[in-house]
Amino acid sequence: MIINKGIAILRWVLAILFQLTTVVLSLIVYPLAYLLRDHSRAMRRSDNKALRIIAVPLWIFLDDECVELTGDDYGEKWYKLVNDINVDTMTKWELFVVAYKWGAIRNPAWNQHTLIQPFAGVETLVSYKGQTSSQYWWEFAELKWLTKGKPSDNQGDCIAPPPYSVFGEAMVWYTAGDRLYWRYSFAGKKFGRYIEIQIGTTEGKEWINKRYTWRMKVKSTNAKMCESW
């Protein structure tokens, strides 16, 4: 088991190193990827394998998941709500700025997650240490926000109470597709600030892009809990 855990951690480290490289490159490459986004996506959908491969160097810097959910490259619905974005009234330059903030800063090189993925299948719990406010062992501890009373992911007016937010800390080992994986998460208040940490693999839900992940968010001292939801 120790060797398998070491291999599982190593897989995560290698995936994160690749992610970090693309995150840095995204700041430079994204403008070109955005300009040629329609061509890159058309090539990725092609029946020609060579074209699909040629498209990869620019395509990985785009966010096809966002396009599938909203129909454009300018952020998910909650992001538009929080930042008061109305794409119908914006100039091409303004739209590019919005796309850059979403695709190069907030969700840099999002498509690269599909190249190196953990197995997406039935997850079987191996061990669980800690406790969260969720009844499900596979859920990350995470802080979710509300804006004008509506869910707005990780930005907004105030932090949502459970069950939308999941408070606590947990270290989980599980198997999927005969491989061992892990995820650690924490969400709560430390040193006077709300903090969220997630590392390992994302949750096994059909609507989530299964991927290796890492994030740590320290919220402003002004962040507050919503009174109700």
Between 156 and 205, where is the model more confident? 156
Over 80: is that where the pLDDT of 164 sits? yes
Give 204's pLDDT tier (boundaries 50, 70, 90).
low
Q: What's the distance, CA 39 to chain centroid?
A: 25
For the segment 157-168, the average pLDDT, to the nearest whole number, is 92
Give 89's pLDDT tier (boundaries 50, 70, 90).
very high
For the chain, the straight-line distance linking the first and the last C-alpha, in angstroms and rounded, comes to: 43
Structure-block tokens of residue 21: 């490289």
133-143 residue pLDDT tens? 999 999 999 99
The model's pTM is 0.85
Q: Whole-angstrom Cα distance, residue 107 to residue 98? A: 12
Give 221's pLDDT tier (boundaries 50, 70, 90).
confident
41-73 residue pLDDT tens? 999 999 999 999 999 999 999 999 999 999 999
Between 176 and 25, where is the model more confident? 25
Q: Whole-angstrom Cα distance, residue 91 to residue 69? A: 22
User: Strand 124-132 vs strand 168-176: parallel, antiparallel, or unpaired?
Assistant: antiparallel
State the maximum Cα–Cα separation within the chain, in Å, rounded to a whole number: 57
Helices (H), the chain: 2-35, 37-44, 49-59, 64-70, 77-82, 92-100
Give 229's pLDDT tier (boundaries 50, 70, 90).
low
Which strands sit side by side in the sheet containing 179-190, from one edge to the other?
A: 124-132, 168-176, 179-190, 193-201, 212-218
Mean pLDDT of the chain: 92
- Please report, to the nearest 10 degrees, the dihedral formed by the alpha carbons of residues 160, 152, 140, 229 taken in order: 30
29-41 residue pLDDT tens? 999 999 999 999 9
pLDDT confidence of residue 205: 58
Over 70: is that where the pLDDT of 206 sits? no
pLDDT confidence of residue 208: 57
Q: Which residues contact 100 (CB under 8 A, 6 or more apart)?
A: 30, 31, 34
202 and 215 in contact (C-beta within 8 Å)? no
